[in-house]
A and B are shown apart, each in its own frame.
Chain A
């Protein structure tokens, strides 16, 4: 153990916090160095005198003054003007401005959103399709004309009957075979 290690362990030795091996090393150093023993004695003496330092008492009017301070503090909190009160860390005026700006932003954002034509794709069958109006109806080449005519009614009849039809047939540009005839 050198001098630095000895000084590092000084308080632990005095307060009996050293492990057995360290303690042995420390005591060996003490035997070999009389200055070390002097240091231990003087630090012990200092600690004793600090422990026995006279206790300082509060002045007799301490409690009265404290009571006054507490009352003053209570009154201050009660009389605190509304401008000084904060909500979520903001003064009411600033919070009001922020709320107005936020509501305005939400409103403008909603106005900018397109109102129709957007459908979120899902697994459900009501997928909206759009066809150009003027495209000619393709006729598959390998299907004979009489095979195509399977409907015995025209499109107006279907529109009247089936109001739940998911497609607006006219808009989609679909043409019934019978209509073509």
Chain B
């Protein structure tokens, strides 16, 4: 397939549904980095982010016939990825609770001190990026996902509403509140 870029996502999906695996490869090529960005910002772990994106893209492959052209392909793929990410967060929470319940009186959690040197001006941007990433993790997940989709992924409010299956007004107010919470966390 020489010129895949002439096709929209929906056309590629239709071709893939009718058996063209090159169309699937093109969809993967279009979405893998976007999805990794979204999931990494959400779960804050690169290895897990890649795993989740792989699960997502595998599901797109195996469940291709479940996609109906009433929604955008991007919305469908982001919804799958978001659901996997939420499941991962729930698993983590459960693991944390189990670990804590197994912890004895003598057990203590030691924090490993950061041995890295203070960032100089050249890496200042990266530092602030790390700060934002940490602040994002402290947000509740129902605030975190819409702000990532809006301010990092630059999706429209309508698309975010469809992906998260939340009314448009709720999405807007969550993003507004998430921005203010994030700002105050960064100030701390």
Contacts and interface: CB of A to CB of B under 8 A. Distances in A.
B170 interface: no
A57 B182 contact: no
Q: Which of A42, A50, A55 has the most CB of B within 10 A?
A: A50
B132 A53 contact: yes
B132 A49 contact: yes
A57 B179 contact: no
A49 B183 CA distance: 11
Interface of B: 28, 32-33, 36-37, 40-41, 46, 49-50, 53-54, 57-58, 61-62, 125-126, 128-129, 132-133, 147, 151-152, 154, 172-173, 175-176, 179-180, 182-183, 186-187
Contacts of B61: 70, 73
A10 B180 CA distance: 9
A158 to B, nearest CB: 74
A11 interface: yes
A49 B129 contact: yes
A11 B171 CA distance: 12
A66 B32 CA distance: 11
B58 A51 contact: no
Given A50-B152, A59-B50, A66 B28 contact: yes
Given A47-B151, A55-B33, A55-B37, A42 B129 contact: no
Given A50-B151, A73-B61, A8 B173 contact: yes
A69 B59 CA distance: 10
A54 interface: yes
B180 A47 contact: no
Contacts, number: 82
A149 interface: no
Nearest to B175: A11
Contacts of A55: 33, 37
Contacts of A42: 183, 187
Contact of A69 (B46, B54, B175): B54
Contact of A46 (B28, B50, B133, B179): B179
Contacts of A69: 54, 58
B154 A66 contact: no
A70 B58 contact: yes
Given A11-B175, A73-B62, A46 B36 contact: no
B33 A53 contact: no
Which of A12, A65, A69 is packed against the most chain B CB atoms within 10 Å?
A69
B46 A43 contact: no
B112 to A, nearest CB: 24
Interface in A31-68: 39, 42-43, 46-47, 49-59, 62-63, 65-66
A46 B154 contact: no
A77 B62 contact: yes
Contact of B58 (A11, A62, A73): A73
Nearest to B61: A70
